[in-house]
Amino acid sequence: MKARVSGHGLRLSLWSFYSFLVLTCVQHIESFKVKPKDISSLHPRLKQSQMQLGSEYRSPPIYGFFSSDAKEPTDSLKESMEQKIGLGAEVQSMDTAQITRLDKELNLDSPSKQVKVQDEKTYPFQAEVSRVMDIIVNSLYTDKDIFLRELVSNAADALDKRRIQADPDEKVPREAFGGIRITPNKEHNTLTIEDDGIGMTKDELVNNLGTIAESGTAKFLKQLEGATSTDKNNLIGQFGVGFYSAFLVSDKVEVYSRAYGHEDGSIYRWKSDSAGTFSVGQVDDVDLQKSFMKCGTRIVLHIKPECDDYLEDYKLKELLRKYSEFVRFPIQVWVEKVEYERVPDESTAVEGKPGRYKTISKKRHEWEHVNTQIPIWRRDQADIKPEDYVSFYKSTFKAYDDPLSYIHFKVEGQVEFSCLLFVPGSLPWELSRNMFDDESRGIRLYVKRVFINDKFSEAVPRWLTFVRGVVDSDELALNVGREYLQRSKALTIINKRIATKAIDMFKNLQSANPERFKKFSDHFGKYLKIGVVEDRDNQQELASLVTFWSTKSGQDRVTLDDYVKRMKPDQPAIYYLTAENIESAQSSPSLEKLKALDYEVLYALEPIDEFCFSSLTASKYKNIMILDVNKSDLKLKSSDDKEPGSKPDPVEYDTLCGWLKSLLSDDVHDVKVSSRLVESPAILVQTDFGLSPSMQRYMKQQATSAGMNETEMFGTSMVSKPVLEINVEHPIIQHLNVMVKADKLSDVPRQVAKQLLDVVSIQGGYNVKDPALFARSVLQLMQREAKQFLESQSASASAS
């Protein structure tokens, strides 16, 4: 099991490294100024890519950017294209054997053989470049995988630049311009990444790969001097030095390139071992001239011994599928295939009779197309079927069940980005252990279709941790490893728009499919309650989506809107009650008067419920007050028809309240006459700023888990003394009042008062101060009752 986990991590490393190199190449060729020119005939392997797309050049491209029923371009354009880029019938008729044979002729399995170069000249690296390279290789990166992502991204940009130069009107399919090919070679310990892009001239190789713009370099090094390790990660990508990440996994790098517009010209090689110098010379090698593209760039990495895992084709494919799955141009990897064949075993033949059969293996190599997924979020929504969304969700997020809901939108204006959000069909496993688990990896960030990260919180509110989706923008600022977002106004806008659209998705689910919304609330309702607490901008919208059990909810939870619709005309507020569970809530004395008034009460059964209600109490809900029925300041109107003179006068109990407050001063804050009780003799409630018993226990657990006490963690004790409210209409209280007035120093009223406090503490969810004493008191009471019963029985027997 450990080996598998380790291998997975290594595969991830390979992905990042690969992508990193490609993005860098693209940055270097941004300054190229090439005159537009007709597309020349393609390299044979580019013809192969076209052949794999189908016999009709109008077939939809792999990424779905063109409609499958498109009738353009016209036949004349088809003929013109065939002439210009070599997509004739002879290409479409090629078979796999021909392609494989052609690749062998081009020495693709031996791309690192000694290449003849003439007029080679050695140049020193710019001083700042050497410093940057040393920082990148020795201290900046903990994950080497990113080199692959950078190189592939750069190659894709180079291809796009060539396409723009040659076909500004976009009449030719993107695939016609070739693609990106990656060749691992274990024999020579090299990894080759090549593209059919815009390429570089000799001067461009010298200037782009040997120097950095002076202002950018100076600024970069100045900021780096006083930066922390985290800050360093946030600096480099702004300055176009990503190419040098190639040296993370290689001790020597060769770059061969022929510029667009110079198809019949020379190929130049740039070479360096990061030792402070690099050389550039003209290639004088017949074999390479034959195999090289009409224009484009080939990077050969001489892999370090400790990085030889990057030569495994399965690792390359996994990293490419992670980081570059949605790159616009085809990415192919030169892979080894093993085939098995049953043949006669001649050693077992006897007297001319055939013997047994044996199985032999044969190895062959072929190009495998890696990025076959369609970037669905970039397509026109009208052309996407619901099953397409479901398929994308399952394949991308490795889910086995259908999503409960999804929303696909594009934002234009200050910031442009495309987004696709899904609500999982069930709670992801990692979130069942920790609702904000760092490994949940819910939202995948793409910049220009290149995967950057799936662990970024800045663009998505915390309460949307459970949502799965994709955000793709061309305008986000990234660090050198393209793993972290730079804080910007664009990021803030994206955060707000995603929150708004997610709420729209939840509301649509609520109105369109109540059964699915119930399932949604079961799994993810607690996240919306976190949103009510944390997201002030969307608090009211989120509050309309959260659900609770109530005194009238029956088998289903209710929303606040459901509650408001059922409010009585004279009801002044929304009421809620905190409790450990539904059973204890239903039996709470706090509900007695509210039930008599026929007011519905919501139940806060978890700490997050109490946080949610407390947050809404300060701001109200639709301008309606929200009140905790366990607070001491609750005022309720009378619910009975008794004559005013038939009810006890509260003033007559002032002496009892004062006596109880003095007697129980260690346990209660105050003693008052209650207006909320009907059947119970007394109740414990909290002061205005006190916490419920369940919240007190929760906060204490949090402090204990952190290895601290409450005062250390929260600055004060979470335990607050409650208020004891007494029901002056109850016989126990009336009897106690008589005993206190007769003899307040007697042990009997003191014992009754303490037992009463223990009983209401248990009833209200508070801890009993001395459980053993309480148990003895209960047993004494039971013993006294039993003794009186036995004495009465004995007296009856004697009388008879």
Mean pLDDT of 757-775: 88
pLDDT for 724 equals 95
d(C-alpha 303, C-alpha 14), whole Å: 12
* 308/477: higher pLDDT: 308
* pLDDT tens by residue, 290-313: 889 999 999 999 999 999 999 999
Superfamily of domain 2-70+88-323: Histidine kinase-like ATPase, C-terminal domain (3.30.565.10)
pLDDT for 486 equals 56
* 474/14: higher pLDDT: 474
CB atoms within 10 A of CB 619: 13
Determine if residue 349 is left, alpha or beta; phi over 0 gives left, psi from -120 to 50 gives alpha, anything else beta.
Answer: beta
pLDDT for 201 equals 93
The alpha-helical segments, DSSP class H, found in 96-234 are 96-105, 127-135, 147-166, 202-210, 214-225, 229-233
Pick the closest to residue 242 from 181, 154, 315 (CA basis): 154
Q: Do residues 656 and 739 lie in contact, with contact meaning Cβ atoms separated by under 8 Å?
A: no
Residue 130 sits at φ, ψ, to 5 deg, of -60, -40
Residue found by looking up tokens 């952190």 in the block: 706
Q: Kindly tell me if the per-residue pLDDT of 624 is higher than 50.
A: yes
pLDDT for 35 equals 36
* pLDDT tens by residue, 201-214: 999 898 888 776 43
389 pLDDT band, cuts 50/70/90, is very high
CATH topology of domain 644-788: Four Helix Bundle (Hemerythrin (Met), subunit A) (1.20.120)
* CATH class name, domain 547-639: alpha beta
The one-letter code for the residue type at 67 is S
Identify the DSSP state of 35: -
* pLDDT tens by residue, 237-250: 344 556 777 888 99
pLDDT for 757 equals 93
Task: Pull the structure tokens for residue 281.
Answer: 């010379």
Give percent of the chain with pLDDT exceeding 70.
Answer: 75
Pairing of strands 331-344, 180-185: parallel
Average pLDDT score over the chain: 78
477 pLDDT band, cuts 50/70/90, is low
* pLDDT tens by residue, 483-523: 555 556 788 888 999 999 999 999 999 999 999 999 999 99
Residue 549 sits at φ, ψ, to 5 deg, of -75, 155
Which residues fall within 8 angstroms of residue 384, CB to CB, at 6 or more apart? 376, 408
pLDDT for 327 equals 87
pLDDT for 785 equals 81
What are the strands of the beta sheet with 417-423, ordered from one edge?
Answer: 405-411, 417-423, 468-473, 443-447, 450-453
pLDDT for 82 equals 36
* pLDDT tens by residue, 719-749: 788 999 999 999 999 999 999 999 888 888 9
Q: Do residues 375 and 326 lie in contact, with contact meaning Cβ atoms separated by under 8 Å?
A: yes
Residue 159 sits at φ, ψ, to 5 deg, of -65, -40
Q: Kindly tell me if the per-residue pLDDT of 21 is higher than 70.
A: no
Beta bridge partner(s), residue 279: 122, 271
Give percent of the chain with pLDDT exceeding 90.
Answer: 40
Distance of CA 74 to the CA centre of its chain: 45
Q: Do residues 143 and 150 lie in contact, with contact meaning Cβ atoms separated by under 8 Å?
A: no
* pLDDT tens by residue, 319-329: 998 888 888 89
Q: Do residues 39 and 176 lie in contact, with contact meaning Cβ atoms separated by under 8 Å?
A: yes
Distance of CA 348 to the CA centre of its chain: 61
pLDDT for 244 equals 75
pLDDT for 12 equals 37
What are the strands of the beta sheet with 723-726, ordered from one edge?
Answer: 670-673, 723-726, 682-685
d(C-alpha 665, C-alpha 721), whole Å: 9
Give 269's Cβ-side CA count (13 Å radius): 22
pLDDT for 478 equals 62
Q: Kindly tell me if the per-residue pLDDT of 216 is higher than 70.
A: no
d(C-alpha 397, C-alpha 420), whole Å: 13
pLDDT for 644 equals 56
pLDDT for 26 equals 37
Q: Do residues 750 and 663 lie in contact, with contact meaning Cβ atoms separated by under 8 Å?
A: yes
Mean pLDDT of 352-380: 86
pLDDT for 718 equals 64
**CA 550 to each of CA 359, 558, 576, 643, 692: distance values in angstroms, whole numbers, following the listed order:** 71, 7, 8, 32, 18
CATH topology of domain 377-510: Ribosomal Protein S5; domain 2 (3.30.230)
pLDDT for 83 equals 36
Which residues fall within 8 angstroms of residue 538, CB to CB, at 6 or more apart? 499, 500, 503, 531
d(C-alpha 670, C-alpha 657), whole Å: 8
Domain segments of the chain as ranges? 2-70+88-323, 377-510, 547-639, 644-788
Q: Do residues 243 and 21 lie in contact, with contact meaning Cβ atoms separated by under 8 Å?
A: yes
pLDDT for 270 equals 94
Which residues fall within 8 angstroms of residue 73, CB to CB, at 6 or more apart? 58, 81, 171, 172
Q: Kindly tell me if the per-residue pLDDT of 47 is higher than 70.
A: no
pLDDT for 716 equals 63
Q: Do residues 466 and 441 lie in contact, with contact meaning Cβ atoms separated by under 8 Å?
A: no
135 pLDDT band, cuts 50/70/90, is low
Whether 2-70+88-323 and 644-788 share one fold: the answer is: no
Mean pLDDT of 441-450: 83
pTM of the model: 0.70
pLDDT for 170 equals 67
* 447/653: higher pLDDT: 653
Q: Do residues 497 and 401 lie in contact, with contact meaning Cβ atoms separated by under 8 Å?
A: no
* pLDDT tens by residue, 89-123: 323 333 333 333 344 434 444 444 578 888 999 98
CA Rg value for the chain: 38
Q: Burial letters for 306-320: b for 16+ Cβ neighbours within 10 Å, e otherwise?
A: ebebbbbbebbbbbb
* 230/389: higher pLDDT: 389
Angle, vertex CA 743, rays to CA 737 and CA 744, nearest 5 = 70
pLDDT for 369 equals 94
* Ordered DSSP codes for 351-373: TTB---EEEEEEEEEEEEE----
d(C-alpha 214, C-alpha 690), whole Å: 62
313-323 vs 147-166: helix crossing angle, rounded to 10 = 60
